[in-house]
Structure 1
């Protein structure tokens, strides 16, 4: 046997046989590049005749596993994992919009989504923002080939989109219905079953559920997904294998987390609605919510783990309220196992103009609550104490 020098051994000496028995968990394939036996194998992997990977940006087994999970949870034909929810929208817009295209968007969207739509105007895309709960407005705005964008449960006012009705309007007008399902997750709604063409999820939030990853995804028919995949690979909009591995692991507890959190959110919504210092509560599970009837048709297994409430307080009063909390922290995200608060006017929607914020009903006293898996009585007690500090 030829003598191998130390420098070569340091590079090639770490080697192990592939085990005959399978690991209990999907392994983490933390490799940016992949080796091939010959050129024929390169062709076979590229063309899908052999399972394999080419380069991390083109996908690894961890990407494939996460995408299979997303497709299964939504009952979709295919899925694309992206580096974030906004990366998912970027890939979607780049793949399906051209100069002169029209996007009809709900005004009740995540603030950064609205900001991204504003960026598209510079490239000749027409963006029409309207109240998507007003179906005649939507019908009048849709044109053949346009893209209708709504959230199942909106951020932060918790408006619920009538997805079957919107899907019917989109089909009649030859438009695509794209649904951001982040607040609902497939636990509470599967928009593809209700007529949507594509579904976007921010896996950073409830799907992963542990504030550990930055991930997004799109689910839908393969014919609509493949153009997005090409854009995502070319533009580098894909996640890394570690994030995909964490996202798939976190999603394993989706049902148990959401069952607990949704029930607790209803409990807290009822408590807050009855408190004299709370001016309004936005939660679709309350009969007083304007979309309660729609939510009862669109959502299943409860009404979600997100709610918002309004206090008649200025910035100083809200700061007193926040400082009185112990376990419920001010966190500018959502969907974790911990219950957190956010202040949309200074976070998710801070880049909207004062007039745009006012049109959405956002003000200093508007707070959004992401409910976790803690004991509901403990959460109620903590909110009660903070309200007393006002």
Structure 2
């Protein structure tokens, strides 16, 4: 069956009709926003505090029928019992013995009532996770509670979540081991004739039985000096129809979660015999990671790690011109602090778990490498254990 294709002209016609409608209403223009993904989304803060995750996908509010689907709110007063507002039934995992759990189709309205019950209707309340609220939801909350003052407070949980407990470290080890086995399966499947989809499917055959979920798989393949061989896709990231050929390189950067805790790693290899130029790029990415990890010591900051890795890249003769200017980040129930970038003064402390990553490109070649590590009192310990080199 031939894949349907919408012609470019149709998209232009749609935009023209939207502009006409805006003009007819006296508007100067439109701001069109979307929310993508949803496989994991932004669940970390409530899960961190209550062990609750809503699996319901985001849908717009339908007045009189539901509100704030895919959203969860925890009302956490300083001098009263907490209340958790959820949009799907508890599956038995919620941990909130000292508080109340309210399941509702009208999550937003019930959150406003919970704030009233907590005596916070006229309070000054810190808002954690404000980036997950839509403009409409926030305005409805303000209308229901006109005397409530909300102030940004993301840093409260950012700081707490950056240092992992022994239980969290155990979960992150398990997640990284599952991710390591997944990427091994994907690398084994990356042979001549395979598509990017075939490669991801091989990894999912391990990930899904292990109870994990894929968040994304950054994929690209190509051949130095031959732009026609470059293969990548945004939606889905494994959607390219090109098949691998001998002489190509391929990079795999995968992330997902097991029991909510994230794995994040990357590898690259040659398809068929490896060339010296491919090895140069592959090894450069590894060298940048090694330089970053070498900067971990008591008293080090996120700046020190970022500067060490990026400095190694420039010393090797590769420009820093990618879309990601950090050498990595914390991981836990998502992408945590700190970001390993120049100028970030956050200290690197024991029991942080970091993913250290670098992608390097030049002349149509690409090297990609990422490891996850546990910071220890005198250094670090790898928690990813996939082979480093596939050549």
Same fold (TM over 0.5): no
Higher strand share: 2
Higher helix share: 1
